[in-house]
Amino acid sequence: MSIDLKQSYFELFGLPVQYVLDDNALAAAFRKLQTEHHPDRFASGTDEAKRIAQQVTSFINTAQETLQSPRLRARYLLSLNGVDFDDERDTTSDMSFLMSQMERREALEQVAQASDPLDAIDELSRDVKKENFELQQSFAEAFEAGQFDEAKQIVLKLKFFERLMGEIKQQEERLEDDAI
Amino acid sequence: MALLQISEPGMSTAPHEHRLAVGIDLGTTNSLVASVRSGEASTLADEQGDHLLPSVVRYLEDGGVVVGTEAKKALGSDLENTIASAKRLLGRAVSEIKTLAGQLPYRFDESEGNVPQIETRAGKVTAIEVSSEILKALKDRAESTLGGELVGTVITVPAYFDDAQRQATKDAARLAGLNVYRLLNEPTAAAVAYGLDQQADADNKIIAIYDLGGGTFDVSLLKLNRGVFEVMSTGGDSALGGDDFDHVIAEWLLAQSGQQSTDDAHVLRAAMIEARRAKEALSDAESVDVCLGEWTGSLAVAEFNALAEPLVKKTLLVCRRAVRDAGVEKEQIADVVMVGGSTRVPYVRQRVGEFFDKPPLVDIDPDKVVAIGAAIQADLLAGNKPDSDMLLLDVTPLSLGLETYGGLVEKIIPRNTTIPITRAQEFTTFKNSQTAMTVHVLQGERETVEESRSLAKFALRGIPPMVAGAARIKVTFQVDADGLLSVFAEEESTGIKTSVEVKPSYGLSDGEIESMIRSSMDNAKQDVSMRRLREQLVEADRSLEALDSAMAKDADELLNETEKQALLDAREALVKARESDDADVVKSAIKHMEKTAETYVARRMDSNIQAAMSGHNITEFES
């Protein structure tokens, strides 16, 4: 019993090819597939069976992570529609967006001076998450409307948010360490 | 696919017969064994009625071995031949033990391979052998209590135990003559003990396991869904536990009795003993009378809570991080399970309850809960409950990455990624005509190579000479369900490949993982400045490379001697600046060189512009 490693991640989980994701349906399909294919199920099987189980579960795990991540899911949808990405070169040229990203970064640098840095960073984090979420919604609209160029620009912006949120997380951990 | 059922000799396959299986909690301080009897899981006591077996092994003069309470008593008198806390050494290499050796009272034989050996009067012993003595004692206890031979066991390990530590645990079990069905993560065992996976609303349920033992603290977040357990994140502090509560009370006793500066070992010992008594008494009293030598007084709960607060707060910060690592909000956590004897302290329960905003689960004895969960799982794997389909999904405990140019680490598989996983990343050559590339595999959360743990290093050779950036080298990381890593590298245009299986014979300990993660946070600032320096160095190399290759082509045509000399001087200055460890110095030297080269660059563009334009549509140049 194996699965087709060429099928799309959406087909794998039996989900509609769209940006809006049913988290519960994905989780349920993921666990069902894992339960069937996990190498633990083949602990007393042949090496061949174990190797296939390893390959299949890796595919399932990658598919799950891609669809679970709002940015990777968006990117994946575009790539299914023939839109290519060049990670080295592609970047957004929206100046007002870049300005607002810089402002967010400055705000992040300043949280350490706030009277309660952890509260300050929580607030910043909430704002950033909200903006990021709005951006995801605009992706969904652009994608559904077939405006792939516009949609690609949004994906590039989502990458900025991902980095920013990563930095917020790092800063948060540093602040926590200072508090310990 | 049909699974082969392989029966071991002497193993009954009669379907109706209850097969004897046990769960073992192999702990740093104490170990337990439990079994399901008449549908109920419970821990098994020894002949004296004790359930906890101290994880201490003593090698006697007559060649005998004693385990448990008897051995523990000899810790004061026969230290060198009495081994405690062997779990901390499991799966570690000699080189790793050295830093620890100063703190451990044992003599290590450093001559042999990777596995550290402790010299005792019974000869050299490894942590695996010591652990197997503990497991043997529990096996004997179980077989005499249950009245038959065991067919299988489930042994628990910390969730962040890496492959080497898991392997070492398995080896110890094999040495003890146990058939291991499965190693189970301790937090998962605790969740199983409470039957949290069996509840009707168990879909996508997130639970937190708060485990405060004698000397260690761990927190894990698990996701449950129809019998599937997923470890979402783990965190901990390997040097924080119930003993620290005793310490703060002891210090208070010494201060109150005016002996804070004493170094009299007897007084300190008396203070520790009294502190422990007071802590236990305060579990169900508002205040307790205490004495130290001549001094008498009383310790109120409020006072104790104030003393304990900094310790409890530390554990909650670790919880906060684990919650974020899991990518969830505190409100989404459905249950909090308390594990470890120190969670009996009411203030700990109160503060944990406040933090997660729900009362923690405390019904099962926190010392026994892990062993009980292991027993339930063992019963299931023994085939005594054929209808269950419980499955545990695991994650990587530390990030895995590669060295990139400039001594930086590029993370390929971040920590807490569900395994098995395969992930590929493309790299390219940095220099013209580069024919080989070193693949250096690293583990850890830090950004630089020196501060990460090196797992393997191998070379991909035979790359056809191409201009820098043209080769496409795909490096693939594969982590299997047991956490073992394999790495493959392939040059895609030619298909030249090489691979290595990264299988360290030892692993990182819980403490090391903890301290590696911690120091990555502490040094994040230093990392950033180091990263800046490295980026500037890479930039400098790029500029030098570009200049050299340009000058080799047309410097003589386009520059006069003075211009050429000025450029060479600027180049020299940059080479010198490169040796400094100051990012700003390097940066300004790059700027200076670029500035000096401006005329040259302009002339090159002029002379090349026609060729450059011929391939483009003119509109491209308008914007």
A16 touches chain B (CB under 8 A): no
Kindly tell me if the per-residue pLDDT of B215 is higher than 90: no
User: What integer is the mean pLDDT of A93-101?
Assistant: 88
pLDDT tens by residue, A113-147? 888 888 899 999 999 999 999 999 999 999 999 99
Band of pLDDT at residue A180, cut at 50, 70 and 90? low
A119 touches chain B (CB under 8 A): no
The answer to pTM > 0.90 is: no
Q: How high is the ipTM of this complex?
A: 0.76
- pLDDT value at position B3? 33
- Evaluate whether residue A3 is within a structural domain: no
User: What integer is the mean pLDDT of B307-326?
Assistant: 92
Catalytic residue (one of B162, B197, B211, B237) = B211
Domain with residue A140: its CATH number is: 1.20.1280.20
Say if CB B61 and CB B121 are below 8 A apart. yes
CA distance A113 to chain B (A): 16
- pLDDT value at position A44? 53
CATH topology of domain B396-522: Substrate Binding Domain Of DNAk; Chain A, domain 1 (2.60.34)
- pLDDT value at position B99? 52
State yes or no: is B394 an active-site residue: no
Note if the bond before B54 is cis, omega within 30 degrees: no
A94 phi and psi, to 5 degrees?
A: -75, 105
Mean pLDDT of chain B: 81
All residues of chain B having their beta carbon less than 8 Å from the beta carbon of residue A31 are 225-226, 228
- pLDDT value at position B618? 34
Q: Which member of B389, B422, B522 has the closest CB to residue A177? A: B522
Specify whether A106 is located in the same domain as A173.
Answer: yes
- pLDDT value at position B540? 84
State yes or no: is B61 an active-site residue: no
B16-194+366-385 and B396-522 have identical folds: no
Q: Which of B47-61, B161-175, B448-462 has the highest mean pLDDT?
A: B47-61
Query: Minimal CA–CA distance to B448: which of B501, B391, B409?
Result: B409
Does the domain at B525-621 match CATH 3.30.420.40? Answer given as no
pLDDT tens by residue, B62-81? 889 999 999 988 887 888 89
Domain with residue A46: its CATH number is: 1.10.287.110
Q: What percent of chain B has pLDDT over 70?
A: 81
A179 touches chain B (CB under 8 A): yes
pLDDT tens by residue, A25-76? 998 899 889 888 887 666 556 778 878 888 899 999 999 999 999 999 999 9
Kindly tell me if the per-residue pLDDT of B521 is higher than 60: no
Q: Which member of B314, B480, B524 has the closest CB to residue A170? A: B524
The token pair that represents B209 in the structure block: 């396991």
User: What is the helix (H) or strand (E) element at residue B123, kind and residue range?
Assistant: strand B123-126
Number of domains in chain A: 2
Say if CB B249 and CB B223 are below 8 A apart. no
Band of pLDDT at residue B512, cut at 50, 70 and 90? very low
Q: Which of A150-159, B283-292, B546-555 has the lowest mean pLDDT?
A: B546-555
How far are the Cα atoms of A55, B470, B552, B600, B607 from residue B564, in angstroms, in the given order?
Answer: 58, 30, 12, 9, 17
A62 and B391: CB-CB below 8 Å?
no
- pLDDT value at position B528? 61
- Evaluate whether residue A89 is within a structural domain: no
**Domain B200-363, CATH number (from 3.30.420.40, 3.40.50.2000, 3.30.530.20, 3.30.300.30):** 3.30.420.40
- pLDDT value at position A129? 94
Name the closest residue on chain B to residue A60, using Cα atoms: B421
Say if CB B97 and CB B116 are below 8 A apart. yes
The rounded distance, in Å, linking the Cα atoms of B501 and B503 is: 6
B1 and A49: CB-CB below 8 Å?
yes
pLDDT tens by residue, B281-295? 998 899 999 999 889
Kindly tell me if the per-residue pLDDT of B153 is higher than 60: yes
State yes or no: is B387 an active-site residue: no
- Evaluate whether residue A119 is within a structural domain: yes
Does the domain at B16-194+366-385 match CATH 3.10.560.10? Answer given as no
Kindly tell me if the per-residue pLDDT of B501 is higher than 60: no
User: What is the helix (H) or strand (E) element at residue A93, kind and residue range?
Assistant: none
Range of the domain at A141: 95-179
Comparison of pLDDT for B181 and B525, the residue scoring more: B181
pLDDT tens by residue, B229-238? 777 888 888 7
Band of pLDDT at residue B531, cut at 50, 70 and 90? low
Q: Which of B194-198, B251-255, B414-418, B514-518 has the lowest mean pLDDT?
A: B514-518
Q: Which of A20-24, B113-117, B125-129 has the lowest mean pLDDT?
A: B113-117
Comparison of pLDDT for B392 and B526, the residue scoring more: B392
A39 and B420: CB-CB below 8 Å?
yes
Band of pLDDT at residue A95, cut at 50, 70 and 90? confident
- Evaluate whether residue A145 is within a structural domain: yes
The rounded distance, in Å, linking the Cα atoms of B129 and B110 is: 17
Specify whether A114 is located in the same domain as A169.
Answer: yes
Specify whether A123 is located in the same domain as A172.
Answer: yes
Specify whether A112 is located in the same domain as A166.
Answer: yes
Q: Which of residues 25-64 of A touch B (CB under 8 A)?
A: 27-28, 31, 34-35, 38-42, 44-45, 49, 53-55, 57-59, 61-62, 64
User: What integer is the mean pLDDT of B98-111?
Assistant: 59
User: What integer is the mean pLDDT of B17-36?
Assistant: 91
Q: Which member of B391, B420, B521 has the closest CB to residue A35? A: B391
- Evaluate whether residue A175 is within a structural domain: yes
* Structural domain spans, chain B: 16-194+366-385, 200-363, 396-522, 525-621
Contact residues, chain B to chain A, C-beta under 8 Å: 1, 3-6, 203-204, 225-228, 313-314, 317, 320-321, 324, 389, 391-393, 417-423, 478, 480-481, 518, 521-522, 524-525
State yes or no: is B223 an active-site residue: no
Catalytic residue (one of B25, B445, B451, B490) = B25
Say if CB B3 and CB B10 are below 8 A apart. no
Catalytic residue (one of B96, B133, B186, B230) = B186
Band of pLDDT at residue B503, cut at 50, 70 and 90? very low
User: What integer is the mean pLDDT of B604-621?
Assistant: 47
Q: Which member of A45, A57, A65 has the closest CB to residue B420? A: A57
Q: Which member of B324, B422, B521 has the closest CB to residue A177? A: B521
- pLDDT value at position B228? 66
